Amino acid sequence: AQSVSQHNHHVILSEAASLELGCNYSYGGTVNLFWYVQYPGQHLQLLLKYFSGDPLVKGIKGFEAEFIKSKFSFNLRKPSVQWSDTAEYFCAVNPPIYNQGGKLIFGQGTELSVKP
Amino acid sequence: NAGVTQTPKFQVLKTGQSMTLQCAQDMNHNSMYWYRQDPGMGLRLIYYSASEGTTDKGEVPNGYNVSRLNKREFSLRLESAAPSQTSVYFCASNTDRVGNQPQHFGDGTRLSIL
**Is there a contact between A106 and B48 if contact means CB atoms under 8 Å apart?**
no
Give yes or no for A100 touching B (CB within 8 A). Answer: yes
Number of Cβ within a 10 Å radius of residue B49: 22
Number of Cβ within a 10 Å radius of residue B52: 15
- Report the pLDDT averaged over residues A53-78: 95
Closest-CA distance of chain B to residue A94, Å: 6
d(CA B94, CA A102): 8
- Residue B74's pLDDT is 97
Residue A53 makes CB contacts below 8 A (sequence gap 6+) with none
d(CA A54, CA B86): 41
The minimal CB distance from B48 to the residues A103, A107, A108 is found for A103
Among the ranges given (B8-22, B61-75, B95-109), the one the predictor scored with the smallest mean pLDDT:
B95-109
**What SS3 state is found at B85?**
helix
**Is there a contact between B100 and A51 if contact means CB atoms under 8 Å apart?**
yes
- Report residue B66's pLDDT band, with 50, 70 and 90 as the boundaries: very high
- Residue A42's pLDDT is 87
**Is there a contact between A109 and B108 if contact means CB atoms under 8 Å apart?**
no
Give yes or no for A97 touching B (CB within 8 A). Answer: yes
Asked whether residue A1 carries a pLDDT value surpassing 70, the answer given is: no
- How confident is the prediction for chain B on average, in pLDDT? 92
Question: pLDDT by residue (tens digit) across A7-49?
Answer: 889 999 999 999 999 999 998 888 889 999 999 988 899 999 9
